[in-house]
Amino acid sequence: MAHTIIIFGASGDLTSRKLIPAIYSLHKKKRLPEATQIVGVSRSEYDHDQWREMLRESTQKFANSAFDDATWDEFAKQVYYHPGDISEANDFETLAEFLRSIEPDSRVDRVYYLSTMPQLYETAIEQLGASGLAEEDGGRRRVIIEKPFGTDRRTARALNDKVHRVFREDQIYRIDHYLGKETVQNLFAMRFANSIFEPLWNRNYIDHVQITVAEEVQIGSRAAYYDTSGILRDMFQNHIFQLLMLTAMEPPPRFDATMVRDEKVKVLHSVRPMTGGDFAAQTFRGRYTGYLREPGVPADSQTETFAILKLYVDNWRWKNVPFYLRSGKAMSCRSSQIVIQFKSPPHLLFGSKIRDFEANRLVIQVQPAEGIQLHIESKVPDTDMKTRTSTLDFRFAAIDSGGMPDGYQRLLLDAMNGDASLFARSDEVELSWGIIDPILAAWRSPAAPKLLDYEPGLWGPIEATEWMRDQRREWFDVCPVIE
């Protein structure tokens, strides 16, 4: 079956940095379904060759797999450009004509990729419906929608309603690029393809979980978007909640889109709602010094660039185990990791001869290094009974073509093949906003916790370290543990 991928927002950054390099890499690895064509749509007036030339340069720069001219030339023959304005119904008519002119027959599966400004998602969907482009008259029609999916629960629900007027839920792929990352998918393998972790994966053995997504970068030129979004909308509602769901979910009966997503959604249902004093006691807001001097940031901005949420998942497995979720810009290093902190042994055999030893810890490194480290106590040789913390490392082996595939490769291919396991479902998105909304409301109220400053290059406000110590716990503030 032939395929066409139609990218709306073709002149944007995401298309040149991520989407086209990912599709090119899939072509190079011969993973694309046969007869796949790509059509870029945006307002700029390029012709096919101009767009291909621009993409050649950007792909050279951004493709993970080594770029080669001959493969590109062959690939570029399948790439087209069609100028069009999302608000112009007529442009969808001409797009439909153009698609008919390049597709071999009517039995072509199409994926519409919305990589436009989020304000245009609703219009694009309406136009796809009105122009007949969403009709499955021979081939399948699917739509991939980029983040952010709404800015709160109300807008996410309204967008879901609009999209459902044109596409069935099984045609809709809400993308979160974190789910395309190999290490994130490896959480499924680690938890459900091994029998040694799952028996310990609960409140009886785990003291707490830390999920940290630290970024070294500052907001740079993104103030227009970032200052209205802030870290909860930008990182928590999507990426960090995905990591939370995969860490906390029950094993699904099969690796099937409905069953996987049913289990993920149950985690969100189980998150204990915060009330009253919880917002001050269980959340942290921070902002790196210098944020107000970033170009485009209003002088009276109250936007956070750092946050911590201490959440509880109220079910039999996790009751009273805190999940500390933390993310920030301008942090010490780029490091995304999940730390499973086990409890100390119930009884210590070695009396006063040893130091206070550390309880076991499993560090799942999502990026930039990709692997797992298990911290165990072991005897120091040639001593009486001293122990020290030793580590067992697992590194993802780099693949032949050089490095890990970018997450977009897997996700694009899954959408083309109709596998939605790694995409967010409508209820999932609305539920995650349902957790974020009350926190944001509390943060905008007079009772909001203080917006704490931190110097770039640290692990957030110093108060967050003290707060953790008061709970007799410590952040695992270590830059990538796996080299």
Q: Using CB under 6 A as the criterion, which residues of the chain lie in contact with ligand BG6 when the complex forms?
A: 147, 177, 215, 234
Q: How many angstroms separate the first and last alpha carbons of the chain?
A: 43
Nearer to ligand BG6, 37 or 183 (CB): 183
CB 177, min distance to ligand BG6, A: 6
CA distance 194 to 69: 43
Spatial CB neighbours of 310, under 8 Å, sequence gap ≥ 6 = 281, 282, 283, 322, 323, 324, 325
What residue has token string 């393998």?
A: 189
- DSSP assignment of 185-207: HHHHHHHHS-SSSGGGSSTTTEE
Q: What residue number has its CB nearest to ligand BG6?
A: 234
CB 120, min distance to ligand BG6, A: 17
Nearer to ligand BG6, 270 or 303 (CB): 303
For residue 37, the cross-strand partners are: 4
Nearer to ligand BG6, 56 or 147 (CB): 147
Which of 103, 144, 31 minimizes the C-alpha distance to 423?
A: 144
CB 217, min distance to ligand BG6, A: 6
CB 159, min distance to ligand BG6, A: 17
Distance from chain centroid for Cα 374: 24
Nearer to ligand BG6, 206 or 219 (CB): 219
What value, to the nearest 5°, has the Cα angle with vertex 466 and ends 463 and 467? 85
Kind of pairing, strands 108-114 and 141-145?
Answer: parallel
CA distance 286 to 307: 6
The answer to whether 187 and 304 have CB atoms below 8 angstroms apart is no
CA distance 463 to 310: 15
CB 358, min distance to ligand BG6, A: 28
CA distance 337 to 318: 20
Spatial CB neighbours of 81, under 8 Å, sequence gap ≥ 6 = 10, 39, 40, 41, 46, 47, 48, 50, 51, 52
Nearer to ligand BG6, 133 or 308 (CB): 308
Nearer to ligand BG6, 232 or 340 (CB): 232
**Kind plus residue range of the DSSP H or E element containing 104:** none
What residue has token string 């990729």?
A: 113
Spatial CB neighbours of 258, under 8 Å, sequence gap ≥ 6 = none
- DSSP assignment of 437-449: HHHHHHHTSTTPP
Nearer to ligand BG6, 127 or 242 (CB): 242
User: What is the crossing angle of helices 241-248 and 182-192, to 10°?
Assistant: 20
CA distance 216 to 470: 27
Annotated catalytic residue 239: yes
Nearer to ligand BG6, 201 or 433 (CB): 433
**Residue among 48, 239, 269, 347 flagged as catalytic:** 239
- DSSP assignment of 25-39: HHHHTT-SPSSEEEE
CB 365, min distance to ligand BG6, A: 13
CB 401, min distance to ligand BG6, A: 20
CB 295, min distance to ligand BG6, A: 16
Which of 345, 341, 326, 307 minimizes the C-alpha distance to 209?
A: 341
Residues noted as catalytic: 239
